[in-house]
Amino acid sequence: MKVSIKFVLYIIFLLSSNELISSEIVNFRFGSNSDIKRIVLDINEDVTFSNKKFKKKIEIRFDKNVSIKNALKNNEYLNSIELDESKTTLTLNFKNVIHNPNIYFLKKKNNKYSRIVIDYLRKIEKKKVIVIDPGHGGKDSGAVGVRKQLEKHITLAVGRLLKKKIESNGKFDVILTRNRDIFLKLRERTKIAKQSNADIFISLHADYNRNKRTRGISLYTLSEKASDKEAAALARRENKSDFLGNVDLSDETSEVTNILIDLTKRETLNQSSHLVNFLIKEFKNDMNLLQRTHRFAGFAVLKSLDIPSVLIEMGYLSNKHDSKLLTDKSYHNKISDDILNAIVKYFNWIEKNSI
Ligand SMILES: [Zn+2]
């Protein structure tokens, strides 16, 4: 009789002790397709839980104690899985930021295990926005070539072709600042870039030089002070069409905002330089490049604080060879293909170097 009372008490103790009747997480399983990643927790019995989602972690709070049968092995999704001291809260620490996590439970029924399933997106696919700016237009014809070609027609022709090629890649939205022979102030061009949330801004031009032998492509990024006389003179020429002058920064900025603007600018200039380097790499293979291909000038059209911007002078209308090339379809094709390749490589690089 005594024994059986003890036995009953023992059973009651067993039933009331969470320690001894904890649920067991038997396996962690991982799967993915191109868009969605999935983590499955196999559990020996049905459980109830709540969860909290963070940028790089998920907390699952069980209504009773749990234990983990097999520790997590190295994998590409998670840094660690931690069970807190109370043995009720499981924390999954992810290696990368997770997007739109969806957490749900599948009952055991006829399966071997109950399952907690966590689905999340690798990344949110947003098309990059490229703004292409065909220089000049309307009453502002830009440079006039030795064959009387007008810069404004060349920049528009390449701009349209480039838009077609970049869009066919599928990963980008392309906006032209002008798609017709119209006059646009420089300020309006950067405004279009800002309003369309451009990821990069590329302004297309063709240059001229009193020295008729000067030829080749050159690339410009913004500098507060033009780096040499030539660049400064070019900046003056290209800026001339803007009646409003340079894009002004607010003059009421405090020291702190000035520092912030300076930092943004530096980061943007950095990215602009990377874009230029990718462009030079592409052009190098099959194009004529001006010596010191990458130059710095104070172009108003490049003065967008937070959009990496590059101005491409596609050749010299003052040079016989260049001037022929600049109206040649196959040259337009080549230069557009190179720009597209550079854009793709630039964004791959950006992606690799962001968290
Ligand atoms: Zn121009």
| Distance from residue 318's CA to the centre of ligand 1 (Å) | 13
Kindly report the backbone phi and psi dihedral angles of residue 185, in degrees, each rounded to the nearest multiple of 5, phi listed first. -70, 155
CA distance 39 to 31: 6
pLDDT-derived band of residue 112, with 50, 70 and 90 as boundaries?
very high
Q: Which helix (H) or strand (E) holds 192?
A: helix 186-195
| Distance from residue 154's CA to the centre of ligand 1 (Å) | 10
| Distance from residue 41's CA to the centre of ligand 1 (Å) | 61
Q: How do residues 57-98 score in pLDDT, each as one tens digit?
A: 999 999 999 999 888 777 788 999 999 999 999 999 998 888
Distances (CA, A) of 252 to 39, 200, 247, 262, 264: 52, 28, 15, 15, 18
In residues, how long is the chain? Answer: 355
The answer to whether 107 and 150 have CB atoms below 8 angstroms apart is: no
| Distance from residue 218's CA to the centre of ligand 1 (Å) | 12
Q: What is the pLDDT of residue 249?
A: 35
| Distance from residue 134's CA to the centre of ligand 1 (Å) | 9
| Distance from residue 191's CA to the centre of ligand 1 (Å) | 18
The answer to whether 200 and 308 have CB atoms below 8 angstroms apart is: yes
Specify the CATH class of 128-352 in words. Answer: alpha beta
| Distance from residue 185's CA to the centre of ligand 1 (Å) | 13
User: What is the DSSP track for 199-255?
Assistant: SEEEEEEEE--SSTT--SEEEEEE-SS-SSHHHHHHHHHHHTT-TT-SPPPPTT--H
Tally Cβ neighbours within 10 Å of residue 298.
Answer: 21
What are the beta bridge partners of residue 295? 220
| Distance from residue 182's CA to the centre of ligand 1 (Å) | 14
| Distance from residue 208's CA to the centre of ligand 1 (Å) | 9
Q: What is the pLDDT of residue 269?
A: 80
CA distance 36 to 120: 6
Q: How do residues 220-276 score in pLDDT, each as one tens digit?
A: 887 655 556 666 666 676 666 543 333 333 333 345 555 555 666 777 888 888 999
Strands ordered across the beta sheet of 217-222:
172-176, 128-134, 200-207, 309-316, 217-222, 289-297
| Distance from residue 82's CA to the centre of ligand 1 (Å) | 60
| Distance from residue 192's CA to the centre of ligand 1 (Å) | 18
CA distance 22 to 18: 6
Q: What is the pLDDT of residue 9?
A: 62
Q: What is the pLDDT of residue 31?
A: 87
| Distance from residue 168's CA to the centre of ligand 1 (Å) | 27
In the chain, the amino acid numbered 276 is V
What are the beta bridge partners of residue 58? 53, 92
Please report, for the chain, the start and end positions of each structural domain, with discontinuous segments joined by +.
20-121, 128-352
| Distance from residue 7's CA to the centre of ligand 1 (Å) | 95
- Residue 162: which of 307, 340, 308 has the closest Cα? 340
Q: Which CATH number fits domain 20-121: 3.10.150.10, 3.30.470.20, 2.60.40.3500, 3.30.460.80?
A: 2.60.40.3500
CA distance 234 to 240: 10
The answer to whether 39 and 51 have CB atoms below 8 angstroms apart is: no
| Distance from residue 322's CA to the centre of ligand 1 (Å) | 15
Average pLDDT, the chain: 84
Q: What is the pLDDT of residue 243?
A: 36
> Higher pLDDT residue, 245 or 339?
339
| Distance from residue 153's CA to the centre of ligand 1 (Å) | 11
| Distance from residue 165's CA to the centre of ligand 1 (Å) | 22
